[in-house]
Chains A and B, each alone.
Chain A
Amino acid sequence: MDRFKLRKAEPKDVPDILRLIKELAKYEEMEDQVLLTEKDLLEDGFGDHPFYHCIVAEVPSENPSNNGPVVIGFAMYYFTYDPWIGKLLYLEDFFVMEEYRGFGIGSEILKLLSHTAVKTRCSSMHFIVAEGNQASIEFYKRRGAADLSLEEGWRLFKIDKSSLLKMSSGPEE
């Protein structure tokens, strides 16, 4: 199975991107947490100021009545900024449908992302991995990834919308 192609996502890919986001969320048993809509994805990714970028992997369709290729994998990324070294490429989501794994598609996606990072003069690629996800951790470690949470003690925090609202409308201190 070597007939796959990687390309930049286009507005027409938005339904497939959402489908794959939900498939990955389902795999993490969090499918009902996906509140994003195709409209959000379209505005946020293909407007004047894209908030994310996507690469999709497609294969020729096996269905004889369908001539077009089928999107079977994707990676979502964006650029972040490290105040010590500058631009970074941040890998947000990365998924290949189960039946298409083991053919090197994931490796090729990561290779393309690495090339994008180097070409856009990023110093590093960052991403988070769930500590229970041994398969992914090994995949990344084989390619030189280092666990910054372990090495540098970083912990990811969030302040949710309700707390943001409370803070932004709160009294002066």
Chain B
Amino acid sequence: MSNFILRKAEPKDVSDILRLIKELAKFEEMEEQVILTEKELLEDGFGDHPFYHCVVAEVPEDHHSSDGYTVIGFAMYYFTYDPWIGKLLYLEDFYVMKEFRGYGIGSDILKLLSGTAVKTRCSSMHFIVAEWNKPSIEFYKRRGASDLSDEEGWRLYAIEKDDLVKISTMKR
């Protein structure tokens, strides 16, 4: 099954992107946590200032998925900034539908993203992986990835909306 193409996502792909985001979330048993809508994905990704970029993997109509889809994988990324070295490519989501795995589609997506990173003069590609996700960790380590949480002790923190509101309205 070598018959697939990779291309930049277009506005028409937004419903497929949301479908694949939900499939990946379902795999992580978090499907109900996806509150993003097609409207937001459209505004945020295809407006004057895109907050994310997407690459999609597509198969010909006669090779569609068991549930009738031709867009069968995607990667969502954006650019971040390291104050020591400048631009980085941040890989946010990366997913290929189960029945299309094992054909090198994931590898090709990562190859394309690597090319994008080099072309846009990024020093590195960053991404987070859940510590229990052994197959993904192996996939990335085979391609030269190093665990910065391990090597440098970084921990990811979040301040959620209600606390942001609290902080922003706090008296000194």
Residues of A within 8 A of B (CB): 21, 24-25, 30, 33-36, 40, 44, 49, 51-52, 76, 78-87, 90, 92-93, 104, 107-108, 110-112, 114-115, 117-118, 122-132, 140, 143-150, 152-168, 170, 172-173
Q: In the bound complex, what is the Cα–Cα distance between A153 and B133 (angstroms)?
A: 10
B1, CB-defined interface residue at 8 Å: no
User: What B residues does A127 contact at CB under 8 A?
Assistant: 156-157
**Contact in complex: A52, B30 (CB < 8 Å):** no
Pair A85/B36 contact, Cβ less than 8 Å: yes
B131 with A155: CB separation less than 8 A: yes
The docked-state distance in angstroms from the alpha carbon of A172 to that of B107 is 9
Given contacts A82-B92, A157-B140, 5 further A-B contacts (CB under 8 A): A36-B83, A76-B83, A124-B158, A157-B129, A157-B149
**Residue contact A170 to B111, C-beta cutoff 8 Å:** yes
Query: Hey, which chain B residues are within 8 Å of A167, CB to CB?
Result: 110-111, 114, 143-144
**In the complex, A140→B130 CA distance in Å?**
23
CA distance A108 to B172 in the complex (A): 8
- B84 A30 Cβ-Cβ under 8 A: yes
- Tell me which of B78, B157, B170 contacts A128 (CB under 8 A): B157
Q: In the complex the two chains form, what is the Cα distance from A118 to B160 in whole Å?
A: 10
Q: Are A80 and B129 in contact (CB under 8 A)?
A: no
Is B148 a contact of A114 with CB atoms below 8 Å?
Answer: no
B residues in contact with A34, CB < 8 Å: 83-84
A119 CB to nearest B CB, Å: 9
Query: CB-CB < 8 A to B49: which residues of A?
Result: 49
B118: contacting residue among A52, A149, A153, A168, CB under 8 A: A168
Q: Is the CB of B81 within 8 A of A78?
A: yes
Closest to A173 in B: B104
Please determine whether A163 and B143 come into contact, CB atoms closer than 8 angstroms: yes
Query: When A81-B44, A84-B25, A114-B159 are in contact, do A155 and B149 touch as well, CB less than 8 Å?
Result: yes
14 contacts between A and B (CB under 8 A): A24-B83, A33-B85, A84-B36, A93-B83, A124-B161, A126-B156, A126-B158, A143-B163, A144-B159, A145-B158, A145-B159, A146-B160, A157-B148, A157-B149
Inter-chain contact A33/B148, CB cutoff 8 Å: no
In the bound complex, what is the Cα–Cα distance between A96 and B12 (angstroms)? 46
Q: Verify A143–B127 contact, CB threshold 8 A.
A: no
- On chain B, the residues within 8 Å of A30 by CB distance are 84
In this assembly, does B145 line the interface, its C-beta being within 8 Å of a C-beta of chain A?
yes
- Residues in A with CB closer than 8 Å to B159 are 114, 124-125, 140, 143-146
Query: Which residue on B lies nearest to A17, using beta carbons?
Result: B83
Query: How many Å lie between the Cα of A153 and that of B40 in the bound state?
Result: 28
With both beta carbons as reference points, the residue of chain A lying nearest to B165 in the complex is identified as: A118
A156:B160 contact, CB within 8 angstroms: no
